[in-house]
Amino acid sequence: MKIIAALASSFVLLVSSFAAEKQPNIVFLLVDDLGYADCGFNGGKEIHTPSIDKLAAAGTVLDSLYVQPVCSPTRATLMTGRYATHTGVYTIVRPHASWGLPLTERTMANALHDAGYATAITGKWHLGEFEPAYLPTARGFDHHYGHYFGMLDYFTHMRGVDLDWYRDGKQIKEEGYTTHLIAHEACRIISEKDKAKPLFLYVPFNGVHSPFQAPDEYLKPYGELKGNRQKLAGMLAAVDEAIGQIVAALESTGQRDNTLIIFSTDNGGPPPGDNTPLRGFKGSIYEGGVRGCAFANWPGHIPAGKRIKEPMHTVDWYPTLVKLAGGSLEQKTALDGKDVWPMLTQGAASPHDAILCVQSPTVAALRMGDWKLVINGGTTDSEGSPKAKGKKGKAKADESGETLALYNLVTDIGEKENLADKEPERTAAMRARLAEFLKDAVVPGHVDNEANALMPPKKKNLP
């Protein structure tokens, strides 16, 4: 009996070990304000991104990954698998603002931590810091290193009069270029990780967000570029180098083959970023504001040298990664995201019949198949893209006073020709579908300062 018991115990350990090996490390690389066509793999010619391009070539490029128009909302959708209409995070969380990602939301880090993962973030959080309960280490991350907001000085780490640099909730003073420091910390985490646990490493770089700053050695190869475009090129070159170092750390520790790497921008690039051939920039619900530059790479699991045109949204990473990790998706809050693993690995169609992009409950866009409906997007994007201008692209107001525009993204990826008048039935059907998405949209959350607790966002019924 003792022999049988010992064999049974050994079998359980073997199965557990096998299961642990099957849980991949997950490294999520988020580049701030990156233009759709700034990297070589997506058509860029001016900036050298060899490390990024090598990863993209050995993985699958996501031609139609949708993000939010600005950064905090994209980070909220990534962390929760829920649209802004359900979290209330429509806009940027400003320094010292008395709100953040609602505490009722379960995060991806929570879910992966529950699944047995070590969890770490090195870089920008941007989802609230006014109380300890909103910090990364209270939202499922074992460790945080980096900053809470954007637009900090890359060398001094100051944001205005405030030092914005932290390790596990404690403000620290360090010397160094932020991109270098973030990469160094990511490599340290990879090298020192507990071999008994899989790792979820979230690396949200502050590059290439303004202010435009780079060490001189990164600017020299781009002498033909001028002004902020040259500085952005140097900043992206530094991010590319950092990503190469992270991959090298995975390789040198024997973890590369069991690591899924995801690369994405958080929103469309603002000028001087290049969003060719898309219309608009950051802050817009046109494609230049909400279509991300992205790919996924996992040797032997995700096809190499492939591009997927099927649409997906950042909300999809939550259920896809938690399910892949063997975690539970049972939770109090309903998910908007869907599992896209069959789409990434087997050539399946998008699991969505429609994808929502919102700037607010009244400024929104809907992607259905090849078509996109834009409500209250304006006649041009907010950044004044020259590609957006012209009579054909002008949105028309309907009887409700809303402006409507309909585009076929297959034949008109630049969203120049408004087809709403030529496709009245399609426009009506998509408007009705969009109304379904927006009927339970919440207004931005607020804080009851006396209770020191986030109040639930109020619902706003929309037509």
Among residues 39, 71, 187, 293, the one annotated as catalytic is 71
- 126 is known as an active-site residue: yes
Q: Is residue 256 a contact partner of residue 194, using CB atoms and an 8 Å limit?
A: no
Among residues 86, 113, 126, 147, the one annotated as catalytic is 126
HEC sequence for the chain = CHHHHHHHHHHHHHHHHHHHHHCCEEEEEEECCCCCCCCHHHCCCCCCCHHHHHHHHCCEEEEEEECCCCHHHHHHHHHHCCCHHHHCCCCCCCCCCCCCCCCCCCCHHHHHHHCCCEEEEEEECCCCCCCHHHCHHHCCCCEEEEECCCCCCCCCCEECCEECCEECCEECCCCCCHHHHHHHHHHHHHHHCCCCCCEEEEEECCCCCCCCCCCHHHHHHHCCCCHHHHHHHHHHHHHHHHHHHHHHHHHHCCCHHHEEEEEEECCCCCCCCCCCCCCCCCCCCCHHHHEEEEEEECCCCCCCCEEECCCEEHHHHHHHHHHHCCCCCCCCCCCCCCCCHHHHHHCCCCCCCCEEEEEECCEEEEEECCEEEEECCCCCCCCCCHHHCCHHHCCEECCCCCEEEEEECCCCCCCCCCCCCCCHHHHHHHHHHHHHHHCCCECCCEEECCCCEEECCCECCCC
- 71 is known as an active-site residue: yes
**Which residues are identified as catalytic?**
71, 126
